[in-house]
């Protein structure tokens, strides 16, 4: 049992929406995460859906804007929302940080650049320490977990599933950064965290990873708004992922939602479909 500090707790749809802080050994700093528990029955265990947020976000964005609690309660699923990066690291030079690099923008990679490699290890935090902590401290069913996310978090969800065959029962993503080695956001983040050798960036790119996937059958579920400004600016590149999956015959559901943008209005409209989708694999 890790020492967790409860920050808040609110009753919601018969369950509890809570926020905790803890010290992360992987990130060498304090971290916050939000967790929705479908009921207060301590004898009941549930599968878990991990939700990874996007640029500038923290553990509260999805909790407050997405409206997922109703569907989590109906399907009996715990939902865990970690922060998007380590924060408030003593002595760290943050002069290179901006809204799309650094705090709030960890990109779910394990940094290899000396300046960041001690703390910016969000990939390992999400796929190891966070899961172990949830399984040890909450009524989670070990091994029954799925992952989803939005934008940078959609990128995170996809790579976490593709790099860890069998760890997650299912994966979905809202407007994910699907091919970061070929977009401005990805170039900036990967160069900053991983260095100038672009060959190392492919290890964190879903479009590159689909051809290397070997493991239990995995289907990718991508939701995308047609009026997403970042789709039009070639930051997301979902068609590259669709084509890569088609080449290796990896199942992929791609839903292009007419008229929707990149916001939580888009996500909240279709979040019920994602819970129904993950429930098929988790129950």
Instruction: Identify the residue with better confidence: 128 or 2.
Output: 128
Question: Which one of 83, 205, 223, 228 is the catalytic residue?
Answer: 228
Question: Which one of 151, 170, 172, 178 is the catalytic residue?
Answer: 151
Handedness of CA 227, 155, 238, 255 (dihedral sign): negative
Please confirm, yes or no, whether 262 is among the known catalytic residues.
yes
pLDDT given for residue 3 in this prediction: 84
Question: Which one of 155, 262, 274, 278 is the catalytic residue?
Answer: 262
Q: Label residue 43 by pLDDT band (50, 70, 90).
A: confident
User: pLDDT tens-digit profile of 122-147?
Assistant: 999 999 999 999 999 999 999 999 99
What are the backbone dihedrals phi and psi of residue 138, each rounded to the nearest 5 degrees, phi first? Answer: -135, 165
* Lowest pLDDT segment from 33-47, 60-74, 104-118: 33-47
pLDDT given for residue 88 in this prediction: 86
Please confirm, yes or no, whether 110 is among the known catalytic residues.
no
CA distance 181 to 20: 34
Neighbours of 47 (CB within 10 A): 21
User: pLDDT tens-digit profile of 246-264?
Assistant: 999 999 999 999 999 999 9
User: pLDDT tens-digit profile of 3-27?
Assistant: 899 999 999 999 999 999 999 999 9
Residues contacting 203, CB < 8 A, separation 6+: 163, 209
Domain positions in the chain: 4-282
Q: Label residue 203 by pLDDT band (50, 70, 90).
A: very high
Q: Which two tokens stand for residue 37?
A: 């528990």
Q: How far apart, in Å, are the Cα atoms of 245 and each of 160, 269, 274, 278?
A: 16, 26, 20, 20
Percent of residues, the chain, with pLDDT higher than 90: 96
pLDDT given for residue 2 in this prediction: 59
CA distance 169 to 171: 7
For the cut 70, the answer to whether the pLDDT of residue 1 exceeds it is: no
Q: Label residue 62 by pLDDT band (50, 70, 90).
A: very high
pLDDT given for residue 17 in this prediction: 98
Report the chain's mean pLDDT, rounded to a whole number: 97
Q: Which two tokens stand for residue 128?
A: 């190891």
Q: Which fold has domain 4-282?
A: Rossmann fold (3.40.50)
User: pLDDT tens-digit profile of 145-189?
Assistant: 999 999 999 999 999 999 999 999 999 999 999 999 999 999 999
Please confirm, yes or no, whether 100 is among the known catalytic residues.
no
């Amino acid at each position: 049992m890790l020492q967790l500090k409860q920050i808040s707790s609110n009753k919601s749809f018969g369950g509890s929406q809570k926020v905790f802080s803890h010290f992360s050994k992987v990130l060498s700093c304090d971290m916050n995460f939000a967790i929705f528990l479908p009921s207060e029955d301590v004898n009941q265990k549930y599968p878990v859906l991990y939700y990874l947020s996007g640029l500038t976000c923290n553990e509260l964005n999805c909790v407050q804007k997405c409206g997922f609690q109703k569907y989590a309660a109906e399907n009996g699923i715990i939902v865990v929302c970690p922060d998007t990066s380590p924060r408030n690291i003593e002595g760290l030079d943050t002069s290179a940080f901006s809204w799309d690099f650094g705090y709030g923008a960890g990109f779910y990679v394990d940094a290899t650049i000396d300046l960041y490699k001690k703390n910016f290890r969000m990939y390992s935090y999400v796929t190891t320490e966070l899961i172990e902590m949830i399984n040890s401290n909450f009524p989670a069913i070990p091994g029954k977990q799925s992952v989803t996310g939005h934008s940078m978090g959609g990128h995170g969800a996809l790579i976490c599933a593709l790099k860890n065959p069998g760890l997650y029962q299912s994966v979905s993503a809202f407007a994910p950064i699907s091919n970061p080695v070929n977009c401005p956001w990805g170039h900036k983040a990967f160069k900053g965290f991983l260095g100038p050798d672009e060959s190392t960036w492919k290890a964190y790119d879903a479009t590159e990873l689909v051809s290397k996937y070997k493991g239990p059958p995995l289907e990718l579920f991508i939701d995308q708004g047609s009026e997403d400004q970042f789709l039009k600016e070639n930051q997301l590149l979902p068609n590259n992922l669709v084509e890569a999956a088609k080449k290796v015959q990896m199942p992929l559901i791609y839903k292009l939602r007419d008229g929707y943008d990149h916001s939580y209005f888009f996500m909240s409209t279709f979040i019920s479909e994602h819970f129904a989708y993950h429930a098929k694999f988790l129950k």
